[in-house]
Amino acid sequence: MRFAAERGHAATGVDRAQEALDAAAAYGQTILADIENGPWPFPDQKFGGVVVTNYLWRPLLPHIVTAVAPGGVLLYETFAAGNETVGKPSRPDFLLQPGELLTACAGLRVVAYEDGFLAGPDRFVQRIAAVRPTPDLAVSPPRHPLTAL
């Protein structure tokens, strides 16, 4: 949230821990919700950017992808199979299988995808940057700048 807010973007964060929300409140709207055991807190909302890091609850993947507005971007990174050899998480429930993130993002235009090993700290990850196409592509192709942050 801080990263988005410091660049002038509105940010909304959701967590089941009030302490996490208290730490993030200075950067935007926060919502207390247990998204694994309760209803999805954004049933009809669309966002220009959806960012998920180090989190996997498979029943939510369709909700997360659906929350990306036309022209919006999904940035998702979490642990992948292989991580059980270097640390936690190590349970298969919390590790993406090869290509699983690509499959979950069907309907979005993938602009970047990686599945592999990162050192320091050692971990296996999948990460994706994907854009929801806009209905008026005939006007001009979308421009998604590939600049370093």
Is residue 135 reached through a cis peptide bond, with omega within 30 degrees of 0 on the bond before it? Answer: no
> What percent of the chain stands above pLDDT 90?
89
Task: Please state the rounded mean pLDDT for residues 121-128.
Answer: 96
pLDDT band (50, 70, 90) for residue 98: very high
pLDDT of residue 134: 87
> What percent of the chain stands above pLDDT 70?
91
pLDDT of residue 110: 95
Contacts of 78 (CB under 8 A, 6+ apart): 52, 53, 54, 55, 56, 96, 125, 126, 127
Q: Give CA separation, 145 vs 4, 68, 111, in Å.
A: 16, 18, 11
Task: Return mean pLDDT, the chain.
Answer: 92
Dihedrals phi, psi of 46, to nearest 5 degrees: -125, 145
* Tokens of residue 12, six digits: 């909304």
* Tokens of residue 125, six digits: 């990850």
Domains of the chain: 1-33 (no CATH), 43-131 (3.40.50.150)
Task: Please state the rounded mean pLDDT for residues 91-119.
Answer: 95
pLDDT of residue 97: 96
Decide: pTM greater than 0.85. yes
pLDDT tens figures, 62-79: 999 999 999 999 999 999
Task: Please state the rounded mean pLDDT for residues 21-46.
Answer: 95
Task: Please state the rounded mean pLDDT for residues 25-33.
Answer: 96
pLDDT of residue 144: 61
